[in-house]
Amino acid sequence: MTDENLAIEQQIINAIRKLFTKRVNELLLDLPFHVPIIDFGDNGCGHAVSPIITLNTCESTEKERIIRLDTYSLIITFSFPDTPESESHCYSYAASVVKAIRENPTLDGIVEKVSVTSKKVIPPKKPSYGDVWEFSLALRVIVEEMN
């Protein structure tokens, strides 16, 4: 099945996955220290991270409704075990993802625009008790309405 036959929501998720596994991983590998790469297969080896991607429709502005643009909210969540490097990993992913999105704000022409609306690093509630670090990134995706 080609991308043109998929629903726009699935095309957006596929484009984000491609961006992460290609450009974001390239940026992570260029860092002077080791950061696990992104892999959506999540083999549990500890050498890769598999973020959770959630896509929802969201409120459009009046202008977006008039010129027939659909808007989506995309939440991407990374979880890491509590280690001394976990906090720096969160900030490394944040910087790499934001840079990759700024370099490709249309996701190779699939959307009109992607913008980062928030970044949040959440430390474990109880350090050293098996809790995890989380990094959450919210994106706003604008797509031209299909006829």
What CATH number is given to the structural domain containing 129? 3.30.70.60
Indicate the pLDDT class of residue 140, thresholds 50, 70 and 90. very high
Number of domains making up the chain: 1
Indicate the pLDDT class of residue 72, thresholds 50, 70 and 90. very high
Average pLDDT of span 46-60: 83
**What stretches of the chain adopt beta strand conformation (E)?**
37-38, 48-49, 52-57, 69-81, 113-122, 132-144
- Predicted structure pTM score: 0.83
Indicate the pLDDT class of residue 126, thresholds 50, 70 and 90. confident
Cα 87 to chain centroid distance, Å, stands at: 18
Query: Hey, how many other C-beta atoms are within 10 angstroms of the C-beta on 18?
Result: 15
Q: What is the dihedral of CA 36, 37, 39, 45, to 10 degrees?
A: -30
Q: Give the model confidence (pLDDT) of 82-125 as tens digits.
A: 888 888 999 999 999 999 999 999 999 999 999 999 999 999 88
Domain that holds residue 76: 3-144
CA distance 67 to 62: 9
